[in-house]
Amino acid sequence: MGIVVSVLRGLVIASICFIILRPLLVKLVSSFMTERDLYDQTVKWIPRTFTLDNYRNMFKHMRYAEAFPRTVVFTLSMACLQTASCTLVGYGFARFRFPGSNLLFALVIFTLIVPPQIIILPLYLNFRFFTMFGLIPEPGIDLLGGYWPFILMAVSGTGFNNGLFIFIMRQFFKGMPRSLEEAAYIDGANPLQTFLRVMLPGAKPALVVVFLFATVWMYNDYFFTLMFMKQGNLLAHYLDVAAHNYAHSIGAVFTGQYISLLNNTGMILFILPLLILYVVMQRYFIESVERTGLIG
């Protein structure tokens, strides 16, 4: 009976994994196909004509060698700013009580269920006519087309999924013993010194989780990147137009199916660094998640 249960459990797990991985497998397989394979009814998973030309062409027209380092620097910078601001805000919610703190934290949680499409219009207008709370004369400063919208959102703790990061840090700091802070106060440390020298070193597991989440989600962000930086030079921008630039460079008109194939190839190149990051950081990430209590 135990063997039957183990076999059934294995089949269920394998089926779920296949459902989850199937989109990635489809993109990976099609990226090695030629345009002729797309119209060959006998070709399903194994290309009839294996080719690396799709990767060569997309690597060139995505300007991968130029855009990838720029994207990495941008992603890591924003992830660091988001981690710093969300850690500070989470510590404030965990250790300090002030009028309206519960309401403010409820609003932070509420941001987790608000789709970004709902708030994109006010965000766009705010950065298009930025007045810094009325301190800058109308019509304000146009911050679109650069990195300032992302910097301001990251520093203020209002960036993409920052509500989740604040929640993670708050829950972790609430679980730390207050005796650590009390001992630091007795030794003459102020709240900021206590946070930096006592509480922050003990929050490394939560910091790792938040930083990795911020890095992955910032790197994958397509919506805000194209909205605030239409003429940007990150991988997301070049991926959006690489197939059409390739067609224009050779004076051809590609079919929709072949453009989809090229986009699949570009997407594989796009997510490959994240897959490598996951393989390298998997052990540290799982250990940090377990220590923060996210899987309880």
Closest Cα partner for 130 from 120, 121, 119, 141? 141
Pick the CATH number of 52-292 from 1.25.40.340, 1.10.1660.10, 3.10.290.10, 1.10.3720.10: 1.10.3720.10
Res 147: pLDDT: 87
Res 287: pLDDT: 65
Structural domain boundaries of the chain? 52-292
d(CA 86, CA 163): 8
Q: What is the DSSP letter of 112?
A: G
Kindly state the tokens that stand for 101.
Answer: 């703190």
d(CA 191, CA 3): 58
pLDDT per position in the chain (296 positions), as tens?
678 778 888 888 888 888 888 888 888 888 888 878 777 777 777 888 888 888 988 999 989 988 899 999 999 999 999 999 999 999 989 888 888 888 888 888 888 888 888 888 888 888 888 887 777 777 888 888 888 899 999 998 888 788 889 998 998 888 888 887 888 888 888 888 888 888 888 888 888 889 988 998 889 888 888 888 877 788 888 888 888 888 888 887 788 888 888 888 888 898 888 888 888 877 766 666 666 655 44
d(CA 274, CA 277): 5
pTM of the model as a whole: 0.83
Res 296: pLDDT: 46
